[in-house]
Chain A
C-alpha cells in the first residue's frame, strides 16, 4: 500500500476530481466552489479542470441552489452540492428533509435522488453559535437521508467516492478541525461501504464510540488511559445512517463498558440513540451505566474559555472512562 500522506482537504479534493473524471454526470455546485475553490479549499482546481458547466458558483441562495441540485439529481445528474456551514441548513431544510429525503418513498420507489450534500461541522474555532454546530442528529432523525461523518483523510476519500456513487440522498459532514489533518491515502480510487464501523484502536476494558474530530480526542484519551493500564477500544461508526450496530454491540459485549462521545447537543441526539440501542440489546452485558460525553444544551459560545468549557475533549473522555471502569 502506498504510504503517501495527504491532508483531509486534499483527500476530499481528490475524491471529487476522480469521480468527475469517471462520470460526466457528476457536477459540483455551491457558494464559492469555483473561482475560490471552496471556502476551505475542497474544490480547488476543479473549475480549471472541468469547466463552468460542471463546477457551478451559486448565489447565496441555499434554498434555490440546493433545491436545484436535488431536482437535477432526481432526473439523473449526480450533483455534489456544498452547504458551506451546516448551521445554514435552516434556510434550505425544506428542500432537504421534505423533498430530497421523501421523494423516492412518496413516489412509490420509482425514482432515485442521488444528491450528495457536503457540509462543514464542528466547534473549536471560536466561530460562535451560528458557525460551530454539528447537527448531524437532525439530519439522521429524518428518514430518507444517509449521514456520513468521516474522521480521517483515508475515510474521507473512500466515503466521498461511495457517496457520489450511491443512489440516495445523503449529507456528508466534514469537521472543520479535520481539514488540516494528515494521513496515508492511496492515490487510486477506492470506496468504503456505508454502515461499516471502523475500530480505530482495539482494547478490552471500555468501548468508546466517537465520530469525526472526536475520534482523535478519543484516541488521545485512549493513549493517556493506557498509561494507567486501562485498555480502550475506539470505534468510529463513520456513517450514522446506516449505522453499524453489530460492531458496536460486539465490542460492548466484550468490554461491558461504554462511553459515547458526541459533539452534537446532548438532548435527543446521536449519543442518546446509541445508548438506547445498547440498553435494549446488550443490557445484560453491561458492567456500568452507559456514559455520554456530549455538548450541553446551550448555543456554542464565542470566547475560547467558554467554548472549551462545553465541547467534549480528551480530558472529559479520560474522566468518563475512569468513572465507568471504577463501577463494577
Chain B
C-alpha cells in the first residue's frame, strides 16, 4: 500500500463499513418480516466504495446518491436512528417519513439525496459542483451512480457539461455487476484501448475525463484512487471518473428472486468481502487486533438495534402532514 492513512482514520473507516453492513443486514430482515413498507435496495457488499470515497471528503463537500443510498448516507454521517425511522415511514424519520428509503437526504452535512430515478442525481451533482466552483473553490461534489446509469442520457450530458466547465466533481461508478438483472457490461458498448478492458473508464476518456478502474472491494484502493481524483478537483483541474468494481450481495430490491445469478457466484464474491479484506489487512498491519475489530462490529450491531427499537416505537406522521412541505408557503 503506497498511502499512509493515520490509524484513527483506518479505524473510523472500518467502523463505518461495519455500521453500513449491520444496517443493511438488519433492513433485509426487517423487510422480510414485513416491517418496512415500499421498496428497499440494499448496499451490502459495496461498502468499500462509499467509505473509500467519502473518507476523503471535508465539510462543505457534497454528494448525490442513488436508489441504493443507505451506504452513502451512513458514510456521510446521517443519523442512523433518523434513517431507520425513515425506512419505517415514521414521523421522526430524517425526512419526516415523506421520502422513505429511496429519498434520504441531509443537506446540512452535504448529502444531497438518494434518488429513485436511475442517473438523475448526476446532473444535480454537476449543479452542486457549479455552485461550489462559483462560491466555494476548493470544495468538491461526488456523484455516485451505478453501472446501469451509464447509459442514461442525462448522465452523458452531465459528463460533458462537467468537463467543458471544468467542474470540481468526481463521478463514481459503482459497477456492482448488475443493472437490475442484466450483466453490467451487456448493455454498454465500449471501445477499449486494451482488448481486455471492461471498464466504464473507457467511456469517460471519450469525454476527456480522467478515469481509472478500481477494485471496489478494497477500501484502501478506493480511498487512494478517490484521493487523487478529489485532490485534482480541489485544485481546479476538473472532473474525474472512478469505475469501482464491486458486488451487491442482496437482490436489486428486497424480494428480488435473483433468477439471473447463481448462489455460487455470490459465494465467490463473498470470498473477497470488503469488510473481511480490510479486517485482515488491519490485523496484518498491526493497526488493530481481531478482538478490537470485533468489538467495533458489535458496537455497530448495538447501534442499529437501538435505531430499530426507537423506530418501532416512534409515531407515524399525522395525516395533516401530507399537505405540508410542498412549497415554502402554505399548501395550494
Contacts and interface: CB of A to CB of B under 8 A. Distances in A.
A95 B123 contact: yes
22 contacts: A54-B134, A59-B157, A64-B160, A64-B161, A66-B123, A67-B124, A67-B126, A68-B124, A77-B134, A77-B135, A94-B117, A94-B120, A95-B120, A95-B154, A98-B116, A98-B117, A104-B328, A107-B107, A108-B94, A108-B99, A144-B326, A242-B332
B146 interface: no
A252 B64 CA distance: 49
B130 A72 contact: yes
Contact of A67 (B94, B123, B160, B329): B123
Closest 5 CB pairs of A and B: A71-B127, A67-B123, A64-B157, A109-B325, A71-B124
B261 to A, nearest CB: 29
A121 to B, nearest CB: 22
A266 interface: no
Q: Which of A27, A64, A71 has the most CB of B within 10 A?
A: A71
B106 to A, nearest CB: 8
A137 interface: no
Contacts of A74: 107, 112, 124, 127-128
Contacts of B97: 108
Nearest to A64: B157
Contacts of A109: 96, 98, 324-325
Given A58-B161, A71-B128, 14 more contacts: A63-B158, A67-B124, A68-B123, A74-B127, A74-B128, A77-B131, A94-B117, A99-B117, A108-B93, A108-B96, A108-B98, A111-B107, A144-B326, A243-B332
A112 interface: yes
B125 interface: yes
Contacts of A167: 328
Given A98-B116, A107-B95, A75 B128 contact: yes
Interface in A16-30: 25, 27
B153 interface: yes
Contacts of A242: 332
A105 B127 contact: no
B123 A70 contact: yes
Interface in A221-265: 241-243
Given A63-B154, A64-B157, A67-B120, A73 B127 contact: yes
A149 interface: no
A195 interface: yes
A133 interface: no
Nearest to B141: A71
Q: Which of A77, A104, A105 has the most CB of B within 10 A?
A: A105
Interface string A68-101: 1111111111010000000000011011001100
Interface in B26-78: 62, 64
A77 B128 CA distance: 9
Contacts of B295: none
A282 B120 CA distance: 43
Contact of B112 (A75, A112, A146): A75
B251 to A, nearest CB: 24
Contacts of A58: 161
B327 interface: yes
B5 interface: no
Contacts of B332: 195, 241-243
A101 to B, nearest CB: 9
B103 interface: yes
Contacts of A104: 325-328
Q: Which of A54, A59, A94, A107 has the most CB of B within 10 A?
A: A107
B164 interface: yes
Contacts of A76: 131, 135
B113 interface: yes
B105 interface: yes
A105 B107 contact: no
A56 B165 CA distance: 10
A130 interface: no
Nearest to A245: B332
B128 A64 contact: no
Interface string A178-200: 00000000000000000100000
A280 interface: no
A99 B123 CA distance: 10
A106 B113 CA distance: 9
Nearest to A66: B123
Contact of B328 (A68, A71, A112, A195): A112
Contacts of B131: 71-72, 75-77
A107 B154 contact: no
B328 A64 contact: no
A327 interface: no
Q: Which of A99, A143, A168 has the most CB of B within 10 A?
A: A99
A94 B154 contact: yes
